Amino acid sequence: MNDTKIKPFTTEARSMLVISFTILILNILFYYFRFGGQQAILTASTLFPVVCSLFAVGSLVKIAFFLKTWDLTKAAWLMLAVGFLFWFLEQSTYAVYKLALGIAPVVPSVADIFWLCGIIPIFIALTLFIYGYHRTGFIIGSWLKYFFICLAISVLEIVLFYKLFMPVLYDPQINIAGKVFTLMYPVFDIFILMLAFFMVLITSLLGKGILSKPWKFLVTGFVLISVGDIIYSYYNWTGNYQTGSYLDITWNFGYLLIAVSAFYQKELMEKF
């Protein structure tokens, strides 16, 4: 399909992109200048992920209900919406813990349960997207590339196992439940990264036109969220994570890029 025959995106998708970069800049400025002291940083760093994840949920729900036919595509976007709804509940629960109760939740908490409930439909959604491309006859390129991605992810898994997993497993200060949930974040996120890189290969074959734009935003969003989770797991275990860290930006901007991808995909579907 020729991208040049498709009209460019309208202001709705572009507006969401502008909003996303505006919030990103506000994040950077707020964390750099530390406006209002520690309490303001605590409030902002806690509420930013709630707002950004809400953008993602709203955008994904919008595209899921925009699709009228119950097919593979609708199922995939709906699963994605359900997954991010749980992640929104995760961020909201953290906000209640920190701002309303004044405590830092210990892993595992209710928030971690919501994260785990969200990762399952998200994994299903990405798998459905990839399967859908294969079934509909889109060019997916050489299978050798996908093999090397699996190999690279396996190597990463081994490295993380010795650098992060093993020390956590033998840490006497962490109970069994804490160890399980601490390790779940990097383990599941690595699989999400693998599927995201599969999407990178597929979308790269669509060229640089507007057909590939929604998927590139989607993949970039997942990469940011997954990398943020993996780094957070290590920092949280070593006690080096601080409220209002620049690491928070990876989650916030990742959520916003997921929202942007949904807006672009909706407008792309409206054109056909």
H-state helical runs in the chain: 11-33, 37-66, 72-95, 110-135, 143-160, 166-169, 176-204, 213-238, 247-270
State the pLDDT at residue 272: 63
In a domain, 16, yes or no: no
In a domain, 112, yes or no: yes
Range of the domain at 125: 21-270
Domain CATH number, residue 181? 1.20.1070
In a domain, 185, yes or no: yes
Tens digit of pLDDT for each residue in 178-207? 778 777 887 888 888 888 877 777 766 666
Tens digit of pLDDT for each residue in 233-248? 778 777 777 777 788 8
Our count of domains for the chain comes to 1
In a domain, 220, yes or no: yes
Across 11-27, average pLDDT: 87
In a domain, 198, yes or no: yes
In a domain, 58, yes or no: yes
Whether residue 139 is predicted with pLDDT greater than 50 in this model: the reply is yes
In a domain, 13, yes or no: no
Whether residue 231 is predicted with pLDDT greater than 50 in this model: the reply is yes
pTM of the entire predicted model: 0.85
In a domain, 14, yes or no: no
Amino acid at 63: I
Between 272 and 47, the more confident residue is 47
Task: Read off the tokens for 235.
Answer: 């920092």
Distance CA 114, CA 119 (A): 9
Q: Which residues, other chains included, contact 54 with Cβ-Cβ below 8 Å and sequence gap of 6+? A: 88
**Which one, of 115, 153, 145, 134, lies nearest residue 76 by Cα?**
134
